Structure 1
Amino acid sequence: MSVLIVIPARYASTRYPGKPLVPLTGATGEARSLVERSWRAACSVQGADRVVVATDDDRIKRAAEAFGAEVVMTSETCGNGTERCAEAHAALGGEYEVVVNLQGDAPLTPHWFVEDLVAGLRASPGMGLATPVLRCNGGMLNSLLADRQAGRVGGTTAVFAEDRSALYFSKEVVPYCAQAFGDGEVTPVFHHVGVYAYRPDALSAYSGWTAGPLENLEGLEQLRFLENGRKVLCVEVDSRGREFWELNNPEDVPRLEAMMKKMGHE
């Protein structure tokens, strides 16, 4: 199956304008933009046939081409990354069998997350799309709870059925847990990793639907699939001891830089 990885990059982020061009300093002391780090992560994925940055902003286009990325220009009317991926895939001929949306705010996404995701979709022919989930340890769960208590959205959580089809995604921490967990303890909460693998029919159908009330309330694009009766496969991935976090707020920059230095991430 041919695989296209699209990195949607929007300059006009509501919570963090200009986020794709924010510099992040790694273990070597070299600063690279968020979109470049996300592109490098995408290029490390085994089995990907093509990697493109999809944007509607000339500043991002110039920056991406400067570090060697292929850029597909998309319209300003794209409401989210999934719509931008659909437009980019169509612009490239619409012939790829799997389209991966590697959102440009997750530069620490390990290559095996994407590889396992594509394998999970391939093994589930009845599913039109799949997304990774990572079981939280106590440290990650406590970070999510601390962000919510401070009025920040630190990440998204997912709950799913026995067949691994998603029941719901939320920026709140779900399910509710009365129990306190130590940093290294296993918890029943799953962090949703903002990567998606779509079959072309599911991706094209998405663009024809309007955003529903849950998507509008949560600001989570994947809820549009659930609101239209489409199943979303949750593929559990293994961190293999790696730390994972997304850049959602300016406060996340030092957290990500500390993680990169700890892991020796260039």
Structure 2
Amino acid sequence: MTVLIAIPARYASTRYPGKPLVELNGPDGRKTLIRRSWEAAMAVRGADRVVVATDDTRIADHAASFGAEVVMTSPDCQNGTERCAEVAAKLPGHDIIVNLQGDAPLTPAWFIEDLVAGLLADPGAEVATPVLRCEGAMLAKLLEDRRHGRVGGTTAVFGAGMRGLYFSKEVIPYTGRAYGDDEPTPVFHHVGVYAYRPAALAAYPGWQTGPLEKLEGLEQLRFLENGRSVLCVEVAAKGRQFWELNNPSDVPVIEAMLAAMA
């Protein structure tokens, strides 16, 4: 069983142009977002190959400068999953392809390790993605972002067998009450990582973009809209804070979390 981790990275982000090359302060100095994401991927046990997938020479040159393997992909890729599908076609022979999006440098290695293990243990699942139960403080941050019109994260709801029912940039499900900072809530933060079986990933670019994917801007909804099974794998924070870099306002949040890891 071989595992390939691909890190999709594009320069022309709508919300944050040039995001992969943004520098983040940490206890180990200033490093770009894409470098920190690559280092997170390199820490994963059981990964046979890690590549940065981009269509931008600025990102490619920078990634090569710190030793990353780079796969150039088409500028026509609509999202990271399509970019990973292109990587998988260029580098065939892997049993599982992991999409570690380039804006998630705080992703702990065990999130990905547990994700791969979850997909392997469920033969009926074609795609798997991690979910993290929100405590009150994280839920409050998500709700605060939405009140101010910011996309602060994605939430997930799932049913029997941990099969995904829906993913949204709104905070779902509705809870109707406040929670203490450390109190577990029924809201699950979707962690932007995916593990695919090759056949499901190869089929993805051939499907039309559905109305829900267009509305939410969430690539995983294309699997649900085409009747494919998405397994949600609950992961444990183990005291680590997790946040994705979606907006410029997330930079100091992530830098504070990096400092707390020292």
Shorter-normalised TM range: over 0.9
Alignment partner of 2:44: what SS? coil
Give the drift of 1:162: 2.2
2:83 maps to 1:80 = no
Unaligned runs of 5+ in 2: none
Identify the match of residue 213 of structure 2 among 197, 212, 215: 215
The two structures have a TM-score, normalised by structure 1, of 0.98
What is the one-letter code of the residue matched to 1:174?
A: I
* Per-residue deviation, residues 175-209 of structure 1 (Å, max 9, x unmatched): 01111011111100000000000000000010110
Aligned twin of 2:166: 168
Structure 1 stretches (4+) deviating beyond 6 angstroms?
A: none
Aligned twin of 1:16: 16
Cα RMSD for the two superposed structures: 0.5
Alignment partner of 1:225: what SS? helix
Give the drift of 1:250: 0.1
- Partners of 2:35 and 2:59 in 1: CA distance: 10
What is the one-letter code of the residue matched to 2:58?
A: R
Give the drift of 1:56: 0.1
What is the one-letter code of the residue matched to 2:109?
A: H
What is the one-letter code of the residue matched to 2:179?
A: F
- Partners of 1:149 and 1:177 in 2: CA distance: 16
Unaligned runs of 5+ in 1: none
What is the one-letter code of the residue matched to 1:133?
A: V
* Per-residue deviation, residues 107-136 of structure 1 (Å, max 9, x unmatched): 000000000000000000111110000000
Alignment partner of 2:78: what SS? coil
Aligned twin of 2:57: 58
The two structures have a TM-score, normalised by structure 2, of 0.99
- Partners of 1:176 and 1:159 in 2: CA distance: 11
What is the one-letter code of the residue matched to 1:208?
A: G
Percent identity, aligned pairs only, is: 70
* Per-residue deviation, residues 14-37 of structure 1 (Å, max 9, x unmatched): 000000000000024x10000000
- Partners of 2:207 and 2:34 in 1: CA distance: 28
Identify the match of residue 139 of structure 1 among 137, 141, 145: 137
* Per-residue deviation, residues 121-168 of structure 1 (Å, max 9, x unmatched): 000011111000000000000000000001000000000002100000
